[in-house]
Each structure stands twice: as structure tokens, then as C-alpha cells.
Amino acid sequence: MNKPFIIFAIAMTFIACNSKDENPLLSTETTPYGVPAFDKIKVEHYAPAFEEALRLAKEEVNAIADNAEEPTFDNTIVALDRAGGLLDKVSSAFFNVLEADGNDEMNEVAEYVSPLLTEHSDQILLNEKLFNRIKAIYNKRETLNLSPEDMRLLTETYKSFVRNGANLDDASKKRLSEINKELAILSLRFAQNVQSETNNYELFITDENELSGLPEDVKQAAKELAVDAGRPESWKFYPTRTSFIPVLQYADNRELRRELLLAYTTRGNHDNEFDNKEIIKQTMHLRVEKAHLFGFSNPADYILDDCMAHNSATVDAFLQSVWQPSLAKAKVEAAELQAMLQKDIPGATLEPWDWWYYAEKLRKSKYDLDEEQIKPYFELSNVRRGAFGVAHKLYGLNFEQINDMPVYNKDVEVFRATDANGNLVGILYTDYFPRAGKRPGAWMNNICSQYVDAKGVDHRPVIINVGNFTKPTANKPSLLSMDDVETLFHEFGHALHGLLSESNYKTLSGTNVPRDFVELPSQFMENYCYEPEVLQTYAFHYQTGEIIPDELIKKINNASKFNQGFVETELLSASILDMDYHKITTTDDFDVNEFEEKSMQKMQMIPQIIVRYRSTFFNHIFMTGYEAGYYSYTWSAVLDSDAFYAFKETGDIFNAKVAAKFKNLLKQGGTKDPQELYMEFRGKQADPKYLLQKKGLVD
């Protein structure tokens, strides 16, 4: 997902002492493009840097609130947007490393700073003097002759304060602050439990016969993991998608498939020290109470009030419109796979650990398409080069690797993005390989946001793309699956949203848009990865250098609608589960597993498919800020399918006029209402039929 990534705050005690001169996070020494001095930062630097940054940020905010002058747009709204620069710098450095290359010491720092950050945020949003200044400006906004972007900043600032409690009475403000702190701690613990369960599970296979069907590169990767673990006689597997998806696709050993899938889908649900069920209950109780404080009956309606969808009823109707055709298609697919299973194991019933295996066989049978035939053409650096090439054709961007930039891990690579005139657009970090300290999944984040300072200097953004793709082995480079290719293009789409930003204000730049709009740029890029003319620019065989044959391209596109009932049912069931949680209206106790099961029964989920994220490892909604928002991926899919059709209907997927209009949408970030932005681009509302047709869910 990117999913777009939202910084979470966490907590545990850490003590460290460093002088400002010794601390690279506080040093006035400049670094290229203003990036953090990752090569010099040590764990012990973070806590004192946070303390100093928080002190300065509080001084800046208090100076705005205590200003004796009449409140104006510049001395209050703009000043607030520009406040906390050092805190932004320290936070972005720390949380990016914590998620991508963390360890126990980093977790301790995080536990220490979490309540400090939450308290600081509440002190700003609940500062009565500050809000009175904002409200005074907001109330006379129509007389101020503000530009549209300035008006948007004023409106969004006012709404943010109101949505975060500025209009509550003192008792409610105090309780809200307590709730926010508790939620921050629970969010951390949820994520740590998922990570611990993922890292602590290890499956060692000692008999190679049990690995029948697995491709040699998958076995080689498992062998190298076992060697690293001190078990050279074995093959090691663990419950991450990089490790277990190839097993689900190719392993003849049905019990091995079952073992790894259940290890993945039961994380956080083992009644042990890493169990997340109680955390989920506490989280939902607090979210319900918070919604009630603001006069909403449930968390979903409170959260969605600031999104394109606006309320849970709209989201429910939208999800059902896509769910029904997806489920119907999945049932047809299940029957076909059941028939294949019967031939192998008479009397057996299709189970979730059988789906991927027989779907892979069916794809090969129907379309003569074996993913192992394709992977040699998807060498990681070539795929990334292909994504860069799409950005060049659409937006005139060029990417050049920089080898002397500070990085936090040797696997990180850095690129300078420039426009057709050679002007700097931004800096892109890529970090693509799994490691023990990296959370699962893929994401984009800002290291430095784009904005224009008081002197009129345009500070260009620094963006990072993170993934968990297969590492190179001794014999092969990193070769991507088709799903990996889509993920790389997806996260690069988020990166482009950040890189192309042309806002005056941090608050409105880049991906600072409603959650049900933020996935449009990322999912739009996915449309390009398997277009024939794009494949021919990056899909070269890693051994021979041969360009991907037209025959393979044809097979890929012929199979593009294959298994889409499964894909959409797995995704949408998670979206519906998310909404069911956030439509809870009481703080009564409930059983997490029973709640999830009732949700599946209500949506009539078929037993052959497991929801993409079961409750106890659903990081998106209990950790990263997509609560009541997982539907955004499908909502944005409607937008991206409609947007791509704007190109397709011209007969040119790189049509210059359409590309210029879409680039204009990207560069404006959150400076306009997203519906207004989309209407400016397309001239009409997005039509869901293009998504349903693309997925083969309707004729």
C-alpha cells in the first residue's frame, strides 16, 4: 500500500546525552540537498535531538499564540505552517529508519518520544489562544482577498483544529488528550507484536524432497537464509509474502503450503505475549469514545467526514457495488480450481492454501503463462529504470544515480530527479530488500517535504520508496514477480506525487490529500507496467539481454483478467471488515475472532479465500492510519481506471496533452478539493465501469 505511509508515534524509556556540536541531527553543518546525515547519526543522537526540537517547536508555537499584534494570515496561519522545522527534520529521519532498519534500541527511543510527540500535538491543537487567532482570521476570510491556495490553507488549518478538539469544553479536551496518548501507545504495541511474531517464526526444511515444485531460485534464497541462521543443512522460510507466496504458488507439498499460510494469517492471534486481540478491543473502545466526543455515533463517520466519501453509508454502498460482481466471479473461479484439485486428490475440498497453487497451474494451462518464464525479464534495476522511463515520457523527468549521498543502510540507493531543463525536481531514495529490522510491505514517505520559504526559495522534496523484494542470491540478481513489478510502479507513483509538488506550504504539498484520493497517483502508474510499449523498454532477460518476446507480452495481456475475482474479493473483504470495526457505536466488550467471523458471514465470504488482512495483523487500520480508510484503494482504483482511459481513448498512452493535465493534478497536492482537481483533469466524474471492465468483472 500504500500504500500513501503515515508516521506513527510510539513509547519506552531512553536516556542519552549529547552536546549539540556532537549531534548530527542538531548540527548546522549542511548536507547535500538538506538530507539527514544518515551516515553520522547514531541511535543515541535521537532522544536529545527530539527534546531540543520539541523545545524549539513549542517556543515557535507559543510565540504565534502570544503575539500581541492583530491576527493575520501571515503572522498566524503561514507562521504555523512554517513552525517546527527542526522537529520535522528529526522526526522524518527517525521514523523512516525505525520502519526500514529498526532494532530494539530504536524501539526504546520510540517509546520514549511517543508521548512527548502526542502531547506536543495536543498542546498545539488544543491551545485556546492560538485557536482564537485562527478563528478570528477564518471568520473574516471572505474579506481578505486570499489566493485559492491561501484560502485552502486557512480552511484546512481551521478544520484541523476543530476536528482535533479546539471547540470542545475543557473536560472533553483533557479526555481527548488522554485518548490520543493511549492510542499512540496501542498503535506501537500492535505493530511491534506483528513484527515480533513475523521475526520469531522460522520454518526449517531438512528434506529437499519436501520442496518439490519450487523453482530453483526460491530454494536458493531459502538456502541462503538457512545458512545465515546457522543451519546450512536446511532451507528456511518465514511468514512474509516474499518468502511464502512462492511456496503457495509452486510447492507440491500441500502441508507446507498450509503451514506457511496459517503462520502468516494467525500472527498476533496466539494468546501469547504478542497477542493483539486485547489491543484491538482497547483501540476500538477509545476510537468510539473519541467519535462520541465530537458528536458522531461511530468512528467511521467521524473519520470520513474529512474525506471524499464523507460518511460510512456512501462507502458501504460503494463497496457493495464492487463486492457483488467480485464475489460472483470468485465463486466461478473457485469451482474451476475445485475441479482441478479433485483430479489430484479425489474427494478433497479446495482450501485457501490450495488457491494460489491451482491458480498458477490454471494460468499456465489456459494462457500458457508460467511466471517463472517471465521473472528472468524482470530484473529489479531494469524494472525501476522502466518506471523512470514512464515518468520521462509523461512528465519529462530524468533520474540520475548519486553515489555519494548519506544512507542508513548499504542497500539504499539515491537518485536525483531533474526536469527537461535540468532543474532539480527532487531526490529519491530506494530501499528494496527485506531485513530483520524492516516492517513488511512497501511504502513511500517524505524525508523532506516540498515548500516555499519566507525568502521565496522553493525547497525541493526528498522522497523514499521502500519495499521487500527478493534479495539477489549468489547466482541471480533480484528478479521480481508480476505482483512485485506492480508494487514497484505503485510506490513510484506515490513518489511522483511528492516529487512533482509545487505548493507554497508544507501542509498542502505532495501527498497531503484525503486518504481516498492519495492512492490515485500510485495506482495510476500500475496501468503502465505491462503495456507492450513499456515492457519493451525494461523487460530484458538478465542473462542474455534479450528483450521480452512479443509472444510473452501477448500472454501477459491475455491473462490480465485472470483470477481477478480472487484478487478483488481478498481486497474488498478487508475493506468491509475495516468498515465493520469502525461502525461500532458502543464501548461494550466483544470477542475479536467472533467479530471477524460475523463480518465474514455477513458479507457471505467464501471459505476458500482468507481476508487479505485478518484483524490481528491488519497494520493499515490499527497502526498506520488507514482506519475506516482501507476502501481507499478501491475508491482510487475507480479514479485511476477512469484516468488511464483518458489516455487510452486518444490511442496514445503517453498523449502529451492528457499527460500535462494529469501532471497539473499531481503538482497541486492538497491545494484544492480533490473532486475539483479530478474534474479539472477529466471534465467529468469518474466512471466505475472502467475498473470493472479492466478486472473482467463485467462484460
**Which positions are catalytic?**
491
CATH architecture of 32-125+127-167: Up-down Bundle (1.20)
Rounded to whole angstroms, the Cα distance separating 256 from 693 reads 36
Rounded to whole angstroms, the Cα distance separating 139 from 133 reads 10
Rounded to whole angstroms, the Cα distance separating 361 from 337 reads 9
Closest CA to 339 of 321, 322, 318, 354: 354
What is the tens place of the pLDDT at every residue in 75-110? 999 999 999 999 999 999 999 999 999 999 999 999
> Exposure of 217 by Cβ count < 10 A (0-12 exposed, 13-18 middle, 19+ buried)?
middle
**Confidence (pLDDT) at 3:** 32
**The length of the chain, given as a count of residues:** 699
Q: Domain 380-524 classified CATH 1.20.140.10?
A: no
Alpha-carbon distances of 560 from 369, 462, 557, rounded to whole Å: 11, 34, 5
What is the tens place of the pLDDT at every residue in 437-476? 898 889 999 999 999 999 999 999 999 999 999 999 888 9
**In the structure grid, which three cell numbers stand for residue 430, read together?**
530506494
What is the tens place of the pLDDT at every residue in 333-383? 999 999 999 999 999 999 999 999 999 999 999 999 888 899 999 999 999
Q: Where are the domains of the chain?
A: 32-125+127-167, 201-265, 380-524
Closest CA to 632 of 488, 503, 494: 494
- 3-state secondary structure string across 120-138: HHHHHHCCHHHHHHHHHHH
Closest CA to 38 of 83, 101, 82: 101
Share of the chain above pLDDT 90, in %: 90
What is the chain's mean pLDDT, rounded? 94
Q: Which residues of 445-470 are buried (b: 16+ CB within 10 A; e: fewer)?
A: bbbbbbbbeeeeeebbbbbbbbbbbb
| Grid-cell match 471572505, residue found | 142
- 693 pLDDT more than 60: yes
By the 8 A CB rule, do 461 and 495 touch?
no
List phi, psi (to 5°) of 341: -60, -40
Q: Going by C-beta distance under 8 Å and a sequence separation of 6 or more, which residues neighbour residue 143?
A: none
Using alpha carbons only, give the angle 348, 354, 355 rounded to the nearest 5 degrees.
125
Q: Which residues of 319-349 are buried (b: 16+ CB within 10 A; e: fewer)?
A: beebbebbbebbeebbeebeebbeeeeeeee
**Confidence (pLDDT) at 580:** 98
Q: Which residues of 471-484 are buried (b: 16+ CB within 10 A; e: fewer)?
A: bebeebebbbbbeb
What separation, in Å, do the N-terminal and C-terminal C-alpha atoms of the chain show? Answer: 28
Name the pLDDT band for 153 (thresholds 50, 70, 90).
very high
